[in-house]
Amino acid sequence: MTTRARVAIVTGAARGIGAAIAERLARDGCDLALLDLDSQACAQTAAAVRAAGRRAEAITVNVADEASVARAAAEVQDALGPPAVLVNNAGVLREKTLSKMTLEDWQLVQDVNLCGAFLMCRAVQGAMKQAGHGRIVNLSSIAALGAFGQANYAAAKAGLIGFTRALALELGRNGITANAVAPGFVATAMTEGVAERMGMDFDAMVAEAVKDIPAGRPGEPEDIANAVSFFADARAGFVNGQVLYVAGGPRG
């Protein structure tokens, strides 16, 4: 009898860290639901997952919208089966100092980074409870410890840590673990966008960031994917409510 692969959902899976996580989980033997606002951009991620011999579905979703999340969760169930792993990676940045930050800047970051994780967890927890097993991994950030010009992002990422720990307490009895990965500086399209908005050369930004990283290099998406893989593994059932800083040095 063939054992069916675990189904993993990764939000923000079109590129960068999300794509790397999806590809790593595919190598770990998972089938992947790739959720993103830009489903076309997920095509390359889906192709990489299929090249690893796993099933993949690219699904358009706005994680900040309750109805959109409900539809996406139903699509995952219909196309791949009940999810065993959920990785909340979708996120946005709107960096400004407090005096320049608008309510829209604040609310958008909370809606996508924090509310999106809440909506996704709520949408899949029923299936995980029914199965008596589940892995939830939320992507926080070292910004949760405080970041200049990112009060909105820092608040959302710190909120994710508290949310994760609360989930661990609530869902642990159902065989569901909830943990968080908090990346440090990672060279991605998102951080390139920050440099562009700041009018700064990206290579110069990387060089400046590396000065504060004991490992002497910026993070790569695969570094984060490896940490997520650990938390998502079926053997990590006694690791719950934890935050792993993947930042090239001690944090927290």
Which among 30, 80, 123, 153 is annotated as catalytic?
153
CA distance 76 to 69: 11
Q: Which residues of 131-164 are buried (b: 16+ CB within 10 A; e: fewer)?
A: eebbbbbbbbbbbbbeeebbbbbbbbbbbbbebb
Is 245 noted as a catalytic residue in this protein?
A: no
Q: Cα torsion at 147, 152, 155, 157 (round to 10°)?
A: -80
CA distance 19 to 42: 8
Helices (H) and strands (E) in the chain, counts: 9, 7
Enumerate the active-site residues: 153
